[in-house]
Amino acid sequence: MTIHTFKPDLPPPTISIGALGWLRANLFSSWINTLLTLVGLYLLWLIVPPVLEWAIFKADWTGETRADCSREGACWVFIQTRFGQFMYGFYPTELRWRVDAAAWLAIIGAAPLFLRQMPHKLRYGLGYLLVYPLLAYWLLHGGFFGLQTVPTSQWGGLMLTVVIAAVGIAGALPLGILLALGRRSDMPAIRVLCVTFIEFWRGVPLITVLFMSSVMLPLFLPEGMNLDKLLRAMLMVVFFEAAYIAEVVRGGLQAIPKGQYEAAAAMGLGYWRSTLLVILPQALKLVIPGIVNTFIALFKDTSLVIIIGLFDFLNSIKRATADPAWLGMSTEGYVFAALVYWMFCFGMSRYSMRLERKLDTGHKR
């Protein structure tokens, strides 16, 4: 009779759960992965400690002048002393409350739109879109109802950047939708006009267009008629971004199944009503990410007005770094600028992702 002998136990399987297991699966699964991990760690070690040291631990946070900077790390004093100029440009100091008021009004006024349980949201939103621009114009530019005029040449800093971006967005969206509809129109003449418009603006760099607005546009206008430099720049931004929006919206329009058009027609709706009530709501919902991406691009593009000498946020920082009293602060200035632009753009991109999830009614299966 044979005696059944147990074979020795196999070693336990390698850990696949817990911290060690995670490390093994995600960082050290093969020799090439291990190598990559080590290279990555080395990169981090190369970048992170010096950056932290420069930006935080060895930085100077308090002081008044350049002499207060030890220059071992970043000198944030520079940003602090110039902060007002970065935010408002040359807007008169005693009138800066008007900019603040406009900003707060924008935030408070828009807040109800983000509440889920808000009655008459659409009506309120439309009203807001009609009333707020006038109010903001009154506050920022003044000139009537007892507010002193602040000419646009004194606008500057982050405020100007936001104004250009906001006007750009508000103007480019409707114009872009119209262009997109025009491009999909049945009328050949309209189609050709829209395609020409869109392709022209998409084919040239914004900076040449801005140049054109600053050196050429005045020659096109009747003698003596003048548009404000800022207004001209904003117009160009609107046209430029509208062309991009148009292409995004066209994508949405193409994605609407033909049945929707036919159903709308069967209901007896005319072109405008079927477009406004049936097609656009669905199409726009589909392309929200694309639209927001265009807005992000627009926000970044506002920095180009520096080329025509407007004092936007980036330009006010650039000018400040040229101040002899604060030489050698380029890094601090541009890092601060990058941080601010980044916050705006990243914020918008996150919001669009949320919106996309919220509005997802399950068309994409």
User: What backbone phi and psi angles, to 5 degrees, belong to 312?
Assistant: -75, -175
Among 9, 67, 187, 364, contact with another protein (rule: CB under 8 A): 187
Residue 56 vs 265, nearer CB to another protein:
265
Residue 6 vs 31, nearer CB to another protein:
31
- As measured in angstroms, the least distance from the Cβ of 90 to another protein is 5
Sites for another protein among residues 72-131 (CB under 8 A): 90, 92
User: Does 42 contact another protein by CB under 8 A?
Assistant: no
Sites for another protein among residues 190-249 (CB under 8 A): 190, 193-194, 197, 200, 202-208, 211-212, 214-229, 231, 235, 239
Residue 118 vs 199, nearer CB to another protein:
199
In 3D space, the residue among 298, 306, 334, 295 whose CA is nearest the CA of residue 156 turns out to be 306
In 3D space, the residue among 75, 309, 321, 102 whose CA is nearest the CA of residue 213 turns out to be 309
Distance CA 101, CA 151 (A): 18
User: Does 338 contact another protein by CB under 8 A?
Assistant: yes
- What are the Cα distances from residue 315, in Å, to 99, 302, 341? 19, 11, 13
Residue 124 vs 178, nearer CB to another protein:
178
Number of residues that bind another protein (CB under 8 A): 102
Burial of 221 (C-beta count, 10 Å sphere; 0-12/13-18/19+)? exposed
Among 15, 20, 41, 353, contact with another protein (rule: CB under 8 A): 41
Residue by residue, DSSP assigns 194-238 as HHHHHHHHHHS-HHHHHHIIIIIHHHHSPTT----HHHHHHHHHH
Longest dimension (CA), the chain: 118
User: Does 71 contact another protein by CB under 8 A?
Assistant: no
Q: Could you identify the residue written with the tokens 């669009």? A: 352
User: Does 43 contact another protein by CB under 8 A?
Assistant: yes
- As measured in angstroms, the least distance from the Cβ of 41 to another protein is 7
User: Does 148 contact another protein by CB under 8 A?
Assistant: no
The one segment of 57-65, 96-104, 116-124, 338-346 that binds another protein by CB under 8 A = 338-346
Residue 124 vs 190, nearer CB to another protein:
190
Among 72, 100, 262, 360, contact with another protein (rule: CB under 8 A): 262
Residue 3 vs 189, nearer CB to another protein:
189
Residue 4 vs 354, nearer CB to another protein:
354
User: Does 173 contact another protein by CB under 8 A?
Assistant: no
Contact 301, 241 (CB under 8 A): yes
Q: Could you identify the residue written with the tokens 């807001």? A: 128
Sites for another protein among residues 268-327 (CB under 8 A): 268-271, 274, 296, 300-301, 303-304, 306-309, 314, 318-319, 321-322, 324, 327
Q: Packing angle between helix 157-183 and helix 313-321, nearest 10 degrees?
A: 140
- As measured in angstroms, the least distance from the Cβ of 278 to another protein is 10
Contact 167, 234 (CB under 8 A): yes
The one segment of 8-16, 67-75, 97-105, 267-275 that binds another protein by CB under 8 A = 267-275
User: Does 12 contact another protein by CB under 8 A?
Assistant: no
User: Does 188 contact another protein by CB under 8 A?
Assistant: yes
- As measured in angstroms, the least distance from the Cβ of 264 to another protein is 7
Contacts of 280 (CB under 8 A, 6+ apart): 177
In 3D space, the residue among 304, 314, 301, 318 whose CA is nearest the CA of residue 211 turns out to be 304
